[in-house]
Amino acid sequence: MRITVLGAAAGGGFPQWNCHCRNCAGLRAGTVRAKPRTQSSIFVQARAEGPGVLINASPDVLTQIRQQPVLWPRPADAAAQRHTPIAGVVLCDGQVDHVTGLVMLRERGVPLPLWCTDPVAEDLTTGYPLLNVLGHYCGVDRHRIALDGTRFEVPGVEGVQFRALALDSKAAPYSPHREAGVPGDNIGLEIRDTHSGRSLFYAPGLGERSPAVIDALHAADAVMVDGTFWTDDEMVRLGISRKHAREIGHLPQSGPDGMIALLDTLPAATRRVLIHINNTNPILDEDAPQRAELARHRIEVAEDGLLIDL
Ligand code: MLT
Ligand code: MN
Ligand code: ZN
C-alpha cells in the first residue's frame, strides 16, 4: 500500500493568508528555512498505479490534485473525457479543514462515494450543510462508518481495509455537539494492507492518551498523528486565541504527558510521523531546536508529497 501526503498543515495552511507569526512571515521573507504546506489530507492506494482513497477533503484539494500526478485523470479508455483515481473519500471529522474540499469535487457524473460517522454526517447536513449543497450537484453515496471495530473497504481499492477508533477530540464550532462531544465526532483510522499485513494508524486530531489509543499506536507499523502544536498554550502566548491545544482536542508535542513522550513508548521499528501541523508550531522551522529534539526521538515532520510504502 502506498500513502501519499497531499497536505501536512493544520487549518489555515502554511503560510496562513493573514498570519504574520515568526514562521509565516519568515517563510514569505525567506528568513526561516521551512517548506510551505497545504491543509492536511492523505491518499491511500493498494498499489502505486491504482486508484485510491482520499482521507479528508482539504480546502486545498484542487491545489493538491494539480501538484500530485497520482491524482490526475487517467481513464482506461483514452477517449473518456472525465475520470478521477479518487475511488472514494473517508472523513476523520467534520472540521472545515477536512471537509470543505468535498464541494470542489462536485463536477462528477455520479455521486461521490463518502464514508463518515453518523455525528459527522449530522454536522454536514446541519451546522455546515455541505452534503445538502452537494445534493444539487453530483450528490454523495454515503456509507456509515461504524464505531464497533467493523472493517470496511472502498470498492475499487481492494486490499486496503479501514477500521475506525472513536477519539476524544473536539467537534467543529458549528456542530450540534461542540460542547457535549459524542463518540464519532472524531475518529482515528487503522489502515491495513491485507496482503502485506502492514498498517498505518492515522489520527490528525488526537487529544488524549486513552488505553485504546495506546493499543492502536502499538499495533501499527507506522503512525501519522496530531502534530498541531508544540505547547498547550502556543496560540494563547502569541495572542491569537484564548484556547489551549487540549481544549480544542490536540495533544501538544512537548511536556511529560505530550506526544513525544507517548511516541517514545512505541516499538523501535515503528515509523513516527507528525501531520496537521499548525503554522505557529516551531517544528516547521528546519533549524529550530524543537525540530532537532524531534529528530533525536526519531519523529518525522510530514510535508506535502511525502510517500510511505507499507
Ligand atoms: C482543528 O483541527 O482544531 C480545526 O480544524 C481548527 C480549524 O481550523 O478551525
Ligand atoms: Mn484541523
Ligand atoms: Zn503563522
pLDDT of residue 218: 98
Q: Given a cut of 90, is residue 150 above it in pLDDT?
A: yes
Q: What is the mean pLDDT of the chain?
A: 97
Which position has the grid cell 486565541?
A: 241
Give the chain's domain count. 1
Spatial distance between the Cα atoms of 9 and 178, rounded to a whole number of angstroms: 23
Which position has the grid cell 477500521?
A: 163
Each residue's pLDDT tens digit, 131-145: 999 999 999 999 999
Atom of ligand 1 nearest to the CA of 11: 8
pLDDT of residue 99: 98
Ligand 2 centroid – CA 192 distance (Å): 24
pLDDT of residue 307: 98
Ligand 2 centroid – CA 11 distance (Å): 5
Bridge partner residues of 82 (DSSP):
none
The pTM score is 0.98
DSSP character at residue 305: T
Would residue 309 be called left, alpha or beta, if left means φ above 0 and alpha means ψ between -120 and 50 degrees? beta
Spatial distance between the Cα atoms of 168 and 210, rounded to a whole number of angstroms: 9
Site to probe by mutation for ligand 1, drawn from 16, 248, 281 as the one with most ligand atoms within 8 Å of Cβ, is: 248
pLDDT band at 205 (very low <50, low <70, confident <90, very high): very high
Atom of ligand 1 nearest to the CA of 248: 3
Spatial distance between the Cα atoms of 104 and 56, rounded to a whole number of angstroms: 13
**Mean predicted confidence (pLDDT) in 56-67:** 98
11 lines ligand 1 (CB under 6 A): yes
pLDDT band at 168 (very low <50, low <70, confident <90, very high): confident
**Burial of 9 (C-beta count, 10 Å sphere; 0-12/13-18/19+):** buried
248 lines ligand 1 (CB under 6 A): yes
pLDDT of residue 160: 98
Spatial distance between the Cα atoms of 20 and 22, rounded to a whole number of angstroms: 7
Site to probe by mutation for ligand 1, drawn from 91, 92, 95 as the one with most ligand atoms within 8 Å of Cβ, is: 95
pLDDT of residue 138: 98
Ligand 1 centroid – CA 305 distance (Å): 22
User: What is the length of the chain?
Assistant: 310
Q: Given a cut of 90, is residue 68 above it in pLDDT?
A: yes
Which amino acid residue places its CA nearest to atom 3 of ligand 1?
248
Q: Given a cut of 90, is residue 170 above it in pLDDT?
A: no
Q: Which stretches within the chain are classed as H helix?
A: 22-29, 61-67, 96-99, 118-123, 130-134, 211-219, 234-237, 259-263, 289-296
Which position has the grid cell 458549528?
A: 174
With beta carbons less than 8 A apart as the criterion, state whether 55 and 189 touch.
yes
**Burial of 86 (C-beta count, 10 Å sphere; 0-12/13-18/19+):** buried
Q: Given a cut of 90, is residue 169 above it in pLDDT?
A: no
Which amino acid residue places its CA nearest to atom 9 of ligand 1?
11
243: domain range?
2-309
**C-alpha distances in angstroms, 136 versus 81, 107, 129, 260?**
22, 11, 12, 45
pLDDT of residue 174: 97
Which amino acid residue places its CA nearest to atom 6 of ligand 1?
11
pLDDT of residue 292: 98
Give the CATH number for residue 237.
Answer: 3.60.15.10
Which amino acid residue places its CA nearest to atom 8 of ligand 1?
11
User: In percent, how much of the chain has pLDDT > 70?
Assistant: 100
Q: For residue 43, report the phi and psi dihedrals to the nearest 5 degrees.
A: -125, 130
Strands of 199-203's sheet, edge to edge?
160-166, 187-193, 199-203, 222-226, 271-275, 299-301
